[in-house]
Amino acid sequence: MMHPDTELFARTDGVGLGVRATAPIPRGTLLWVRDAMDVVLSADALAALPEPLLGVARRLGYRNARGEWIVCWDAGKHVNHSCSPTMRGVGHDAMIALADVAPGEEITCDYAECNLDEPLACCCGAPGCRGSIGGPVPEPVWRGWQREVEAAVAASAGSAQPLVPCCVDPHAASVLAGERPVPPLADVAIAPWGQEGP
């Protein structure tokens, strides 16, 4: 589920749809959580889907570290990639704003956290665009991503968190409250870090 202060919009660059903020959203706010209405498919259930359902699921869904295929029911399925994303994962089922998000700003994530089956060409245009998404991410890079998430969680104190009650991850609220550490990104994603993690 996307944050309530977001909306679907049509990009003008031929990419298609995207998601943007409709109001200021502070750093440390959960921007997306997996909720009870998202479709969760095992690898076997995904493979058993007939076309065109299989194609739609593979295009609009992602694989989590548990090997499940997730297809969001709402605008979350239209979040685009950026090598300098607006949000990163906090555990398996939540993503947090890395910086303050302004009204009209596009909400993006890094598809390297989506356990891609094969690399994708990237032309996101972000400073430091990697040119390709997928494959092993060097340890210094993902450790930098981890520090970004930890800093965002630290900044979350006092922020309204309208998505916490909807999150299927029972630990998300305790991470934001500082009662649990931020889960290591290497435990959340499998493909970018190699078959067995770092």
Query: What Cα–Cα distance (Å) separates residue 50 from each residue in 56, 60, 64, 123, 134?
Result: 10, 15, 22, 31, 27
Q: How confident is the model at residue 25 (pLDDT cuts 50, 70, 90)?
A: very high
In-domain check, residue 86: yes
CATH number, domain with residue 73: 2.170.270.10
In-domain check, residue 198: no
In-domain check, residue 19: yes
| Cis preceding-peptide flag for 170 (omega within 30 of 0) | no
Backbone angles phi, psi at 56, to 5 degrees: -65, -45
* Mean pLDDT of the 31-46 span: 96
pLDDT, position 187: 66
pLDDT digit string, tens, across residues 152-161: 999 998 889 9
pLDDT digit string, tens, across residues 44-92: 999 999 999 999 999 899 888 788 899 999 999 999 999 999 999 998 8
Parent domain of 89: 6-193
**Is residue 31 within 8 Å of residue 25, measured between CB atoms?**
yes
pLDDT, position 32: 97
- For residue 194, pLDDT over 50 is answered with no
In-domain check, residue 1: no
In-domain check, residue 40: yes
Mean pLDDT of the chain: 89
pLDDT digit string, tens, across residues 148-192: 999 999 999 888 999 999 999 888 899 999 999 998 877 665 444
In-domain check, residue 104: yes
Q: Considering its fold, how many domains does the chain have in total?
A: 1
pLDDT digit string, tens, across residues 90-111: 988 999 999 999 999 999 999 9
Return d(Cα 2, Cα 35) in angstroms, integer.
10
* Mean pLDDT of the 112-141 span: 84
